[in-house]
Amino acid sequence: MPFPRTPIDTAPQLDVAAGLVALLCDTTTETRCDPQLEALTLAVAADLPVLLWGEPGIGKTAALTQLAAALDLPLTTVIASVHEPSDFAGLPVVGDDPATQGVPMAPPDWAVRLVRAGRGLLFLDELSTAPPAVQAALLRLVLERQIGSLRLPAGVRIVAAANPRSSAADGWELSPPLANRFVHLQWTYDHDVVVRGLGGTWPRAALPRLDPQRLPDAVAFARRAVCVLLAARPALVHRLPTSEAGRGGPWPSPRSWEMTLRLIAFATAAGTSREVLSMLVRGTVGDGPGLELLASLDRMDLPDPEVLLADPGAAVLPKRGDLRQAVLDGVVEAVRRHPERSRWDAAWTLLAQALETGAADLVVVPASTLARLRREDWEVPASIERLTGVVALSRRADQVAARVAGVGR
Q: Is residue 6 part of a domain?
A: no
The pLDDT value given to residue 95:
62
Angle subtended by helix axes 287-300 and 274-285, to nearest 10? 140
- 241 with 388, same domain: the answer is no
> Which stretch of DSSP H or E encloses residue 166?
none
How distant is the alpha carbon of residue 183 from its chain centre?
7
- 116 with 239, same domain: the answer is no
The pLDDT value given to residue 56:
85
- 199 with 225, same domain: the answer is no
CA contacts within 13 A on the Cβ side of 367: 28
The pLDDT value given to residue 97:
62
What 3-state class would DSSP assign to 78?
A: strand
What 3-state class would DSSP assign to 407?
A: helix
Q: What is the CATH number of the domain that holds 122?
A: 3.40.50.300
Among 177, 203, 229, residue at a domain's last position: 203
Q: CA nearest 138: which of 169, 177, 165?
A: 177
Among 203, 233, 264, residue at a domain's last position: 203
The pLDDT value given to residue 51:
96
Contacts of 85 (CB under 8 A, 6+ apart): 133, 134, 136, 137
pTM metric for this prediction: 0.75
- 127 with 222, same domain: the answer is no
C-alpha to C-alpha distance for 244 and 255, rounded to whole angstroms: 20
- 44 with 85, same domain: the answer is yes
The pLDDT value given to residue 276:
95
Alpha helices, DSSP H, located in 199-253 = 215-232, 244-247
Long-range CB contacts for residues 152-155, cutoff 8 Å, separation at least 24: 152/111, 152/114, 152/115, 152/122, 153/114, 153/115, 153/118, 153/119, 154/47, 155/118, 155/119, 155/120
Domain that holds residue 165: 32-91+104-203
- 72 with 198, same domain: the answer is yes
- 123 with 174, same domain: the answer is yes
Return per-residue pLDDT of the chain as tens, 409 residues. Answer: 565 665 556 568 888 899 999 998 888 888 888 899 999 999 999 999 999 998 888 888 888 888 888 888 999 999 988 888 888 877 777 666 666 666 677 788 888 899 999 999 999 998 888 888 889 889 989 988 888 778 999 999 999 999 886 665 566 788 999 999 999 999 988 888 889 888 888 888 888 899 999 999 999 999 999 998 898 889 999 999 998 888 999 999 999 999 999 999 999 999 999 999 999 999 999 999 999 999 888 877 778 888 899 988 888 888 888 788 888 888 898 899 899 989 988 988 888 888 888 887 788 888 888 888 888 888 877 767 666 655 554 454 444 445 545 545 5
Q: Domain total for the chain?
A: 3
**Strand pairing class (91-92; 105-106):** antiparallel
- 126 with 242, same domain: the answer is no
The pLDDT value given to residue 249:
93
